Structure 1
Amino acid sequence: MNQNPKSNSKLLVGLGNPDREYQKTRHNLGFQIIDYLAEQLNLSWQKEKFKGLYATGIYRQQKIILLKPLTYMNNSGECVRNFVNYWKISLENILIIYDDLSLSLGTFRYRQQGSSGGHNGVKSIIECLGTQKFPRLKVGIGSSKEILWKDWVLQKFNEAEAKEIKKILPELVDWLLKWVGTE
C-alpha cells in the first residue's frame, strides 16, 4: 500500500519577481495572470509558505492551489519543489504560467513538457524537480530588436501593450479553468 498517495490538487504557478519595482513588467506577466485568476475566483493571497504566496480554493469540486514564488524568478524552482512535495502533487497537475519572448504579445501556447527555452524561472523549476515533464503555459510578451532581452523583460508594458494584456486576461482565465477541470 502506498503510504504517500498523490493528491489530485491542481497547482497553478505564476512566475514573477516579488519587489514593487517589478510590478507590471513583462517578466511579471505570470504574477499578473495568476492574480487575475485569484480575483475571478474570489481567492485572497493571505498565506505564505516555503517562500511563496499562495491561495487555495475549490473549482467544480477540484481543489486548486495558486502560487506566486517569492524567491525571484531565477530561484522559482525551490518554492515549486517544496509545494509539490508538501502537497504531494503529481507533475501532470502542475501548470507553470510565464512570459515568453518568442511569442507575439497576447498570444499563448500550452506545452505538456519541454526545455526551458532560455527562461530562467522554468530552468530553475526543471533543475529542482529533476524533470522537464510538467505542463506550462507560455504567454507572449513579444521582443525588440533594439533592446537587449534582459532589459526588455524588465520594462513595464506601454499603454497599448497593457490594454492588449488586459483584453486577453478573460480568455486566459477561461483556458486555465478548463485546464483545472480536466482529469
Structure 2
Amino acid sequence: MAKLIVGLGNPGKQYELTRHNTGFIAIDFLLDYYQYQNTKEDFKSILYFSSINNEKVIFAKPQTYMNLSGEALIMIMHFYKIKTEDIIIIYDDKDLELGRIRFREQGSSGGHNGIKNIIKHLGCEKFNRIKIGIDPPAENFKIVDWVLSKLSQEEIQIIKSSVNNIKNFVKDFAAKTEFKKIVSAYNK
C-alpha cells in the first residue's frame, strides 16, 4: 500500500513561484531530498514514484488548477487504492506567518479553494494536511492578488527551510506511522 503526498498549486509558467504554489515548491524540495525512480503524467497530475525506507511513496502535483485539486486527488486514490489516512496534502495558508508549519488531521477549508474542492470530492473534512504560511495579504492587496503574487528569493528560502524541517516527518509517515502520533512527537 502506497502513501500519497500531494502538493497543491497551479500549473503553468505564470504561476511558478507564486504564494499559491507553495505546495509545488514543497514537493520539489522533498523530491530533491528523497529522489524518485520514475515519473508520469496521469490522472490530471504529474506523479513521482519514490521509495522511502523501502516504502512506496507517490508524490503528486495536480495539474487541474487549484480550484479543482480534488478531481485529480480522487482519481489517484481510486487507481492506486490509497486510503484517506494514507494521504498528506501540502498547501499554502495566508493566515500563517511566512514559513510557519501547521499540521491538521481535519477541519474546514478555511477559505482555501483547493481544500474546499478536496473536501467536496472526498466527502469529508478528515484528511491529513501540512499548511505552510505565506503571510497575510500585504496592505492594498486583494486576497486573490496576494496568493498569486511572486515570492522573492528570500521568501522561497524561508519556505524551503521550513520544508527541510518536515522532511523527517514525511519519512516517519512513509514508515506507516499514524499522522497523529508523528504530529504529537514533532510538536514536542
Structure 2 length-normalised TM: 0.88
- Per-residue CA deviations over 1:92-131 (Å, capped at 9, x if unaligned) read 1110000000111010111111111100001111111111
Q: 1:150 to 1:59 in 2, by over 3 A?
A: same
Per the alignment, residue 110 of structure 1 pairs with 103
Q: 2:26 aligns with which of 27, 33, 37?
A: 33
Which runs of no fewer than 5 residues in structure 2 stay unpaired? 179-188
Aligned pairs for 1:150-161 (under 5 A) are 150-161=144-155
How far, CA to CA, are the matches of 1:16 and 1:91 in structure 2?
A: 20
Aligned residues: 176
Q: 1:130 aligns with which of 111, 123, 129?
A: 123
Is 1:149 the equivalent of 2:143?
Answer: yes
Letter in 1 for 2:151: F
What SS is found at the alignment partner of 1:112? strand
What SS is found at the alignment partner of 2:127? coil
- Of residues 56-65 and 13-22 in structure 1, the stretch that sits farther from structure 2 once superposed is 56-65
Q: 2:92 aligns with which of 88, 99, 112?
A: 99
Conserved 8 A contact 1:38-1:44? no
Q: 1:39 to 1:129 in 2, by over 3 A?
A: same
How far, CA to CA, are the matches of 1:80 and 1:97 in structure 2?
A: 12
Conserved 8 A contact 2:4-2:82? yes
Per the alignment, residue 168 of structure 1 pairs with 162
- Of residues 94-103 and 169-178 in structure 1, the stretch that sits farther from structure 2 once superposed is 169-178
Q: 1:67 aligns with which of 39, 60, 66?
A: 60
Letter in 1 for 2:41: E
Letter in 2 for 1:76: S
How far, CA to CA, are the matches of 2:124 and 2:141 in structure 1?
A: 32
Letter in 1 for 2:150: K
How far, CA to CA, are the matches of 2:142 and 2:38 in structure 1?
A: 33
Kindly state the Cα deviation for residue 149 of structure 1 after the two structures are TM-superposed: 1.1
Give the superposed CA RMSD.
Answer: 1.4
How far, CA to CA, are the matches of 2:50 and 2:70 in structure 1?
A: 23
Conserved 8 A contact 2:39-2:49? no
Letter in 1 for 2:88: L
Give percent identity, aligned residues only.
44
